[in-house]
Amino acid sequence: MASPSRPPLDPARLSVKEAKGFSHLRQLLLAPEQTELERLKNRLDHYILEPSDVGRVLPDAIRLRAQQDSRLLSSMIPITQEALSLSIKQSPQLISDSIAPILGPAIRKAITRAMRGMVQSLNQTLEYSMSWKGLQWRWEAFRTGKSFAEVLLLHTLRFRVEQVFLIHKKTGILLNHVVADGISGQGEEVISGMLTAIQDFVRDSFGQKQEDGLESLRIGDLTVWIDQGSGAILAGVIRGDPPMELRDVFQEALETIHAQFSELLQSFHGDTTVFQEARLPLEDCLQAQFEKKSKGISWVVWVLLGALIVGIGLWAYQAYSEQQRWRQLLERVEQEPGLVITGVQEEGVPAIVNGLRDPLAINPEQILSDLDYSSQQVVFRLKPFMDLTPEFVRARAMIQLRPPSTVVLGGEGRTLTLSGEASHAWIEQTRLLGPIIPGVSHIEMKQLVDTDVKQFETVKASLERKILAFGVGESDLREDQESVLMDIARTIQALDHSAWTLHMTARIHILGFSSPDGTNEVNANLRGRRAQTVQRELETGPLQAVSLMAEGSSPEVSPAVFSQDSPVPQGRHVVFRVVETPSRLSQNRQ
Amino acid sequence: MIQKKVCMLGGFSVGKTSLVKRFVTGQFSDKYHTTIGVKIDQKSMCVNDTELLLVLWDVYGEDDFQKVRASYLQGSAGYLLVIDGTRKETLEVARQLHAMAMQSMGPVPYALVINKHDLRESWQVDPEMYEDLASNACLVLQSSAKTGECVELAFAELAKQLLKV
């Protein structure tokens, strides 16, 4: 018999005493669970997400979400781009340092490849464009309608990787594709698919394993090398006969790509943009090799190089010669008296020489002509000036004074020294003009002989040596003295002319003498008459600058006309003594 | 750019190559060419602002003499299962190819296309006959490569489905 079931205990219907007991009983039975529940309730009510909690799950959370779809990546793109942009603005050096190890080798490699290709192409083009073989190929190009470069390539190429395909192994979709310079890719996605299909066909047909595959295809001059990876296939289209070493290059590139894109290859869903960075290892596969590579640089290049060196040498020599000629011109102008260079403008044509020129200096056009310069090459812009060097002062004096050939000009500083012989008129003119010549303050004429004065003195001395003899007690001229008288008359005329030239006057004393015989009175009378006779005879012609004065010699007149060196002659004759008129002579000499 | 591999599956002479040609070049030719092996074409299109390149593998039509190789189907993101409406025997071939595709590709989107709708009066198939194939297809269309009817639509709708995956 089943015992009747007891109704469930309702705490609301319990008395106070029963409620206390019930609460005590519940505490005794459920205390640990109650405490734990309260702790959990408190934690949930006051839940704060700790960074350490997020940090523990964040990497896995991101990875799992990214595997699910691309929404997380899409939402992170703008944040990442903005963060990168801000980072570049704030610390460009950091970004630069970070990407330098990647960009540096890539840039170097690209430049090396481009330079190598350019030199090789230039070398070949030069070599073959001027040879007999080159002419044959030109004819072939003309005949077949191909370009010369194409024909050249066909004949000299050992091999050249023209295209490289990176194909997703499972789908046959083209992930990336590079082509060599001058090659145009076309329908590469279709080619990629067909290559995959052919591989599948061959593999199925011959019962090979999945990891096996077609390694190479050959179509005419083209070879397709295919390298299998776990996730991708690398196919290179090669013209010519590639060396086996190229396989290593392909495999190395494929390994690099697998190392870099392993996860992307496994999770590939058609987005090929993520494989853009695979371009660099693919470009490493774009290699080429031409025949006669070991031959080195073409002889044509050497000839051109030689011609270039000779050309540069000639140019350098010409430039050096031109420089020397120019320097020679400037030195010549500098050395030339009366020319001063104040500035030179060498740039441009014509070159311009600025400076000063004394009117007496050489014409600079003459210097240009001497050094084979034309006025189109060099232009002188010279302002006039006075050169005060002694040389130019003398030259200027020569022009202004016009000295006779018997005069020599010299001097130091501002003194002009004249020596030699010159006419009285020229000396007088020089005395006036000399001080106004630029650069001359004093004229020294001590060494200069006045030829007119000299002539005067000569004639004077000649006259004073003349003697007219008389007979005993006679005051008339003897017949034999007629010729002497004529000679004396001519001398007096010459003396008159000379004095006239010197702008001076002179008096000719005609002195009569007698023998001591006879009385003094008679002798004195006789001396006077003899002098007067001669004066009369001589006054027949006109005299302009001299006058005649007859007088018997006497102790009174002697001191005026005789010096101590010429004692008064004794005897029956007449002599002449010339006395310059002091006033006029001295006046002229001032 | 997103690229997707799409296979054309169906019996011989159901019009797979004509459908591809109509879709890619907009042309049609009455002259029949048997496809040997596989022929690959491509067509780029824009689906919901996403640039998509369809790589179309026009696999040869299966018959008693040549069986489609499963390796051609690997990696395909979807396929067009083509039936010739004028020949009911192409239904069975389609079923076999569909089974092969399921095994090789897994559950990928596919469009069931009953071709040659321009010859409607000569049709030998009814919807009830291909109900099993249509049940899992993302799209069922009656098309005509000759007139271009529903050809563009078939590829466009399949492309949308491919991007959803």
Give the architecture-level CATH label for domain A302-384.
2-Layer Sandwich (3.30)
Confidence (pLDDT) at A437: 84
Taking only the tens place, the pLDDT of each residue in A384-426 is 888 888 888 888 888 888 889 899 888 877 888 889 999 888 9
B contacts of A201 (beta carbons < 8 Å): 37-38, 69, 71
Distance CA B38, CA B66 (A): 12
Taking only the tens place, the pLDDT of each residue in A166-209 is 999 888 899 999 988 877 777 788 888 888 888 887 877 777 66
Q: What percent of chain A has pLDDT over 70?
A: 89
User: Three-state SS for A474?
Assistant: coil
Domain boundaries, chain A: 116-295, 302-384, 390-445, 465-589
Distance CA A256, CA A188 (A): 22
A contacts of B74 (beta carbons < 8 Å): 170-171, 200
Query: What Cα–Cα distance (Å) separates residue A176 from each residue in A182, A188, A209, A502?
Result: 18, 9, 26, 122
Q: Does domain A116-295 have CATH number 3.30.450.70?
A: yes
B contacts of A203 (beta carbons < 8 Å): 71
- Chain B interface includes A203 (CB < 8 A): yes
User: Three-state SS for A525?
Assistant: helix
- Among A197, A204, A271, select the one facing B40 at the smallest CB separation: A197
Q: In this predicted model, which residue has the larger pLDDT, A107 or B19?
A: B19
CB contact under 8 A, B40 and A203: no
CB neighbours of residue A518 within 10 Å: 14
With a cut of 50, which residues of chain A have pLDDT below it? 1-4, 293, 556-561, 585-590
A81, A87, A90, A94: CA torsion to nearest 10: -140
- Chain B interface includes A212 (CB < 8 A): no
- ipTM reported for the complex surpasses 0.85: no
Confidence (pLDDT) at A590: 33
Taking only the tens place, the pLDDT of each residue in A80-115 is 888 888 888 888 777 777 777 777 777 877 777 677
Instruction: State the pTM of this model.
Output: 0.46
CB contact under 8 A, B72 and A200: yes
Q: What are chain B's domains?
A: 2-164 (3.40.50.300)
CB neighbours of residue A470 within 10 Å: 25
Q: Beta strands A157-168 and A174-179: pairing type?
A: antiparallel
CATH class of residue range A465-589: alpha beta
**A292 conformational bin, left if phi > 0, alpha if psi -120 to 50, beta if neither:** left
By the 10 Å C-beta count (0-12 exposed, 13-18 middle, 19+ buried), B118 is classed as middle
- Among B40, B52, B75, select the one facing A190 at the smallest CB separation: B40
Q: Using alpha carbons, select from A300, A332, A383 the residue that is nearest to residue A128.
A: A300
Confidence (pLDDT) at A312: 94
Average pLDDT score over chain A: 82
